[in-house]
Amino acid sequence: MPSRLLLCIFTFAMVLVPEAKDQSKAAKGRRRGLARPPTAPPALAWVPEDPYSSMAEYEHSIQDMVRQLRNGSKPGDTKCQVNLRLWRSNRRSLSPWAYRINHDAARIPADIPEARCLCTGCINPFTMQEDRSMASVPIYSRLPVRRRLCPARRPSGNEKCPKKYQMVMETIAVGCTCIF
């Protein structure tokens, strides 16, 4: 019987007393003005409530970029040079790039802007000339797209591919960087 009583007291001391001790420290700190507000548990990664609305917004933003590319493309965008007057980071980089439109009719969005490095080497920041001791390489990212599902055999001229899509991740070049 005494061993059970001892076990109960020990359990009480281990579980409840540290909690009370922490509360008394917080109360002491409040009196001195040093108490920290309680911290919330770390939040889980953000998940959109309606994934279709965010996907629609995503596709709309890509369409806006494609429209801007089509309206603002100039033939001089193929030179390996830095233009510090431009606000666009792709032309101010030491590894400049231009965008081209990656078109695939069996994908939504059908058009995606894709980066293409303009230099083989990198721009030397002191001379502003290309330095081929380093290399410009594309930076890739995986983007979500909807891919049209078609049967293994191609439909004949009269048959059409069903309008069913599957969400897949596609690797697209999003910029360029310098490496040794």
Q: Rounded to an integer, what distance in angstroms lies between the CA atom of residue 179 and that of residue 122? A: 8
Compute the C-alpha angle 139/144/149, nearest 5°. 125
- The 10s digit of each residue's pLDDT in 100-117 is 999 999 899 999 999 999
Note down the domain range covering 167: 55-150+163-179
Under a CB-based contact definition with an 8 Å cutoff, are residues 173 and 138 in contact?
yes
Is there a domain that residue 24 lies in?
A: no
Min mean pLDDT across 8-17, 54-63, 88-97 is at: 8-17
Q: Domain for residue 25, yes or no? A: no
| 131 located within any domain | yes
Return the DSSP state at 23.
H
Q: Residue 98 falls within a domain, yes or no?
A: yes
Alpha helices in the chain (DSSP H): 2-32, 51-72, 89-92
Domain assignment present for residue 10? The answer is no
Determine phi and psi for 52, rounding to 5 degrees: -70, -35
* Residue 135 is assigned to a structural domain of this protein: yes
Residue 86 lies in a domain: yes
Higher-confidence position of 47 and 152: 152
- In this structure, which amino acid lies at residue 36? R
CATH number for the domain spanning 124: value is 2.10.90.10
Give the tokens for residue 28.
């002491």
